Structure 1
Amino acid sequence: MRRMLIGMSQEKLGESLGLTFQQVQKYEKGANRIGASRLYQIARVLNVPVEFFYEGIQVDDAVETEGMAEAEPSNFDFDMLSTSEGIQLNSAFFAIRDPKVRKRVLELVKALGETEAPGLSDGADGAAADGELVDET
């Protein structure tokens, strides 16, 4: 998912890791297991923490990590990137070339996220049961 999100080909990822693109394909399809050291390398190339690849696993904040590694403070929601909508949103956002327009879109999304409109949970938001937007005009 992350490789596609940043527009990196399997071949380019393979080159960065010293692998063939076929091996990258096998990793992505789950045909071959990925060792811990290789997973760490992939995370570094894709610029994500290793936890990114452990979808659905909750990190225990109570674990003492002092002296083990540098803390990486982050409020980024990686779960969003594991959804089709998240990838589409990210791709569409970065397709906007004008930085002023991108900034306005970001402001709009932030404003929408800060307010919880009444009725959104009961289907009154213009969404069909399958999640597709419905034109109500």
Structure 2
Amino acid sequence: MAADIDLHLGKRLRRRRRLLGLTQQQVALRIGVRFQQIQKYECGANRVSAARLWELAEALESPVSYFYEGLTEALERREGAGGEVFSRKETLDLIQAYYQLGERPRRRLLDLAKSLHSDEVAA
């Protein structure tokens, strides 16, 4: 879940920066870091501390709450989109087995799964 929050904050940071027409370098200069750090924040690779978030909000002329807007909905969408499915051992086993197959068997298995889903929806 923390990674989901980091991604959301990064997206909001990028959106606000672009809205103001600023480059990553310009934002970095305003808060005293290198532009690579802004890149890492925007893609969610690095977490934004509370103090750094405050500095970013000041630099981007927005309230800190801006970065959290829509977070609850984004997390709910992620959960609803099968977030817990990928944490199951069964799912991981299936994915590993799938990628151990050659290209042709993988294609056939994918086609089979799609046809089974279509049959289920039609019924």
Please indicate the TM-score interval, normalised by the length of the shorter structure. Answer: 0.3 to 0.5
- Please state which structure has a larger fraction of its residues in helix: 2
Select the structure with the greater relative contact order (CA < 8 A; seq sep ≥ 6): 2
* The structure with more radius of gyration: 2
